[in-house]
Amino acid sequence: MQRLFRLIFRVGIFLTFLYMPICSNLNAGEILDKFLWRNRVIVISTPSPANPLFKKQLQLLDSETTDLIDRDLVILKALLNTGNFLIDEVSFGSSEKLLSKFNLPKSEFCLILLGKDGTVKFCQIGKLVRPQVLFSLIDSMPMRKHEIRVRNRADNQ
């Protein structure tokens, strides 16, 4: 079942970018604008993909696929050693531009959560973040509460 959710999630990401030109000089703002009012975004930056915090954070998030999909979450990975940021292993531009947009440190592991409105809702530097911490924060947001109410109404009809 989790594989099905993962597949649906990846198809959704693919469709989001289907009509977007792919090149190495895309502006981070242009990429993030594609998610505005549609998705919450987790940005994970790391000096190297071999960083143990980075690997563990991805494992923690990957084990919560259903909850990620339920909360409309997309994960962006900013890899400093390659200079790119990735969405589902596809490179979409310069990690430098993404990091400077949010004033993220270039030498440390960092995780930020962006709301559907594009603003930073949470930032953690140098430490793992349990997915439940992110989910609790998201579930306390007015927009998420509204989404739950709408879904519950639809389920009751």
Q: What is the pLDDT of residues 91-131, one digit of tens each?
A: 666 777 777 888 888 889 999 999 999 999 999 999 999 99
Give the whole-angstrom CA distance, residue 23 versus residue 136.
36
Furthest CA-CA distance within the chain: 51
Q: How many domains does the chain have?
A: 1
Containing structural domain, residue 52: 2-156
What average pLDDT does this structure show over 39-66?
Answer: 95
Between CA 154 and CA 73 the distance in angstroms is: 21
Given a contact cutoff of 8 angstroms between Cβ atoms, the answer to whether 96 and 85 are in contact is no
Other Cβ atoms within 10 Å of 50 Cβ, number? 9
Kindly report, residue by residue over 73-96, the tens digit of the pLDDT.
999 888 887 767 676 666 666 777
Q: In whole angstroms, how large is the CA radius of gyration of the chain?
A: 15
Q: What rounded mean pLDDT belongs to the chain? A: 82
Q: What are phi and psi of 112, to 5 degrees?
A: -130, 150
Quote the pTM value.
Answer: 0.80
Interatomic CA distance for residues 74 and 78, integer angstroms = 13
Q: Is 56's pLDDT higher than 70?
A: yes
Question: Which CATH number fits the domain that encloses residue 90?
Answer: 3.40.30.10
Q: How far apart are CA 38 and CA 74, in angstroms?
A: 10
Distance between CA atoms of 84 and 71, rounded to whole angstroms? 26
Encode 73-83: b = buried (16+ Cβ within 10 Å), e = exposed: bbbbbbbbeee
Q: Burial of 126 by CB count in 10 Å (0-12 exposed, 13-18 middle, 19+ buried)? A: exposed
